[in-house]
Amino acid sequence: MQAADVHLAEATLRTNSGPLGRSSPRKAVGEDKQLLLAAAQAAREFSRPNALIYWGDLLATAIVAYGAFAGALLLPFGMAALALCVVAALAFYRGLSFIHELTHIRRDRLPGFAAVWNLLIGVPLLTPGFMYDDVHTRHHAKTSYGTIRDPEYLPLASKGRTALLVFVCVSALAPAGLLLRFAVLTPLSLFSPVLRKLVVERFSALAINPAFRRPAPTGAFRREWLFQETAAGAWAIAIVAMVAGGLIGPHSLLVALGIGSSVAVINQVRTLAAHLWDNETGEPMSLTAQYLDSVNVPPPATLPALWAPVGLRYHALHHLLPSVPYHALGAVHRRLTSAGGGGDTLRRADYPGLRLVIATIAARIEQPPPGGPGK
């Protein structure tokens, strides 16, 4: 992060009239009815997913991911193999990002898509869909966002810059953690109700809030959960067995772990840049305040297509329109921007790139809240 970016972010926060005109979500923000009305109108027009886009994108992504992974395994260590590792990591990350869509799109609108995604991406990467189902929707609940009940929120802007660095770096351990969860804890939990309760509550959700405790699944979702967990557990045990038996050599293991860690780190950086993390009071926020606490990185920026794929570059807009499929968010953003339907509030969540998003979060760490000391 360059000093110029931090200075720009600090100036923007002090004046509230910088180039992007942002204001701090620490201040109480009422509802912008013009923005919400325009968003509701757009949702009615753009809410239907295009099955051809979903299936084509997923299958093409899987082909690129596994093709690049195979090439990296076959080639000797060198620049070509390293380049294929980068391609594989970005492709697997894009494929994994579809888990976000699975929580919002009704299954009857994309029959079979969730099952195929789990087969191609979820189970092989030890992140089956049940780990996000009924978790991410809590993040979108108006009365839960930014509170202690939100599994995907931490007031990172009040934690200090070291905490931000730890938040990103610890994610590199995700492959080892997932392997431990499914290869060891899953089978052991079959014999201990106490351990099973711990596994369900603490190790069965893609969450960042350490206070979140996941309730046990019920009904049809319980059956789906157990089927996916069994598949992931069997695959994890097979990996351990193949490593122990020498069928997976050190080179292949290091390549796989390196790609897996890269996917996790990229996702954690994207998670950090998805919000401003400024709700340190833990009180419920208005929908407009949630929007302003979230981030869009629209064109002309190009790199977000890699680190925020599958519509994640419009994360703030997604919080207003969670039912709109990823492929339509760009059109909605252009529509609202060109028509002025979102008013001034719409553009205040737009950032030109990752660097300024991170700099803005860092600047908020140094900016004391009204009536309080600096952090």
- Tokens 């990103």 -> residue: 168
Task: Name the band, by pLDDT with cuts 50, 70 and 90, for residue 57.
Answer: very high
Q: Which neighbouring-strand residues pair with 296?
A: 314, 350
Contact 279, 285 (CB under 8 A): yes
Residue 205 has pLDDT above 90, yes or no: yes
SS3 102: helix
pLDDT value at residue 375:
39
Residue 89 has pLDDT above 70, yes or no: yes
Contact 13, 22 (CB under 8 A): yes
- Tokens 């009536």 -> residue: 371
pLDDT value at residue 4:
42
As a whole number, the mean pLDDT across the chain is: 88
Average pLDDT (209-224) is 94
Q: Which neighbouring-strand residues pair with 314?
A: 296
pLDDT value at residue 339:
73
Residue 182 has pLDDT above 50, yes or no: yes
pLDDT value at residue 14:
40
H and E: helices and strands count for the chain:
18, 0
Residue 12 has pLDDT above 50, yes or no: no
Task: Name the band, by pLDDT with cuts 50, 70 and 90, for residue 364.
Answer: confident
User: Per this entry, what is the length of the chain?
Assistant: 375
Spans of all domains in the chain: 3-47+286-366, 51-272
Sequence-separated (6 or more) residues with CB below 8 Å from residue 240: 179, 183
Q: What percent of the chain has pLDDT over 70?
A: 89
Q: How many of the other CB atoms lie within 10 Å of CB of 98? A: 23
Average pLDDT (268-288) is 90
pLDDT value at residue 6:
35
pLDDT value at residue 155:
85
pLDDT value at residue 224:
95
pLDDT value at residue 369:
52
- pLDDT tens-digit readout, 304-328: 999 999 999 999 999 999 989 999 9
Give how far the C-alpha of residue 6 lies from the chain's centroid of Cα atoms, to the nearest Å: 24
Segment among 4-13, 157-166, 324-333 with least mean pLDDT: 4-13
pLDDT value at residue 31:
84
SS3 146: coil
- Which has more pLDDT, 106 or 81? 81
Average pLDDT (77-94) is 96
Average pLDDT (66-76) is 96
pLDDT value at residue 21:
40
Start-end of H helices in the chain: 3-15, 33-46, 51-74, 79-102, 113-117, 136-140, 161-169, 174-180, 186-189, 193-202, 219-244, 250-272, 287-292, 304-307, 315-320, 329-339, 343-347, 354-366
Residue 204 has pLDDT above 80, yes or no: yes
Per DSSP, 286 falls in state: -
Per DSSP, 173 falls in state: G
Q: Which helix (H) or strand (E) holds 250?
A: helix 250-272
Give how far the C-alpha of residue 125 lies from the chain's centroid of Cα atoms, to the nearest Å: 15
State the amino acid at position 216 in one-letter form.
Answer: A
Per DSSP, 216 falls in state: P
- pLDDT tens-digit readout, 103-116: 998 888 999 999 99
Instruction: Say what the alpha-carbon torsion angle 340, 294, 161, 178 is, to the nearest 10 degrees.
Output: -150
Name the range with the highest mean pLDDT among 3-12, 17-26, 96-105. 96-105
Give me 139's structure tokens: 């993040």
- pLDDT tens-digit readout, 124-168: 999 999 999 989 999 998 889 999 999 999 888 778 788 888 999
Residue 1 has pLDDT above 70, yes or no: no
Cα angle 325, 327, 329 (rounded to 5 degrees) comes to 75
What are the C-alpha distances in Å from 177 to residues 94, 127, 171, 205, 257? 21, 11, 10, 13, 11
Measured distance CA(181)–CA(167) in Å, rounded: 20
Q: Which neighbouring-strand residues pair with 275?
A: 294
In the 3-class helix/strand/coil scheme, how is 179-190 assigned residue by residue? HHHHHHHHHHHC
Task: Name the band, by pLDDT with cuts 50, 70 and 90, for residue 368.
Answer: low
Contact 71, 255 (CB under 8 A): no
Q: Which of 338, 328, 208, 327 is nearest to 274 (CA)?
A: 208
Residue 13 has pLDDT above 50, yes or no: no
pLDDT value at residue 28:
60
Average pLDDT (62-82) is 96
Measured distance CA(13)–CA(131) in Å, rounded: 36
pTM for the full predicted model: 0.89
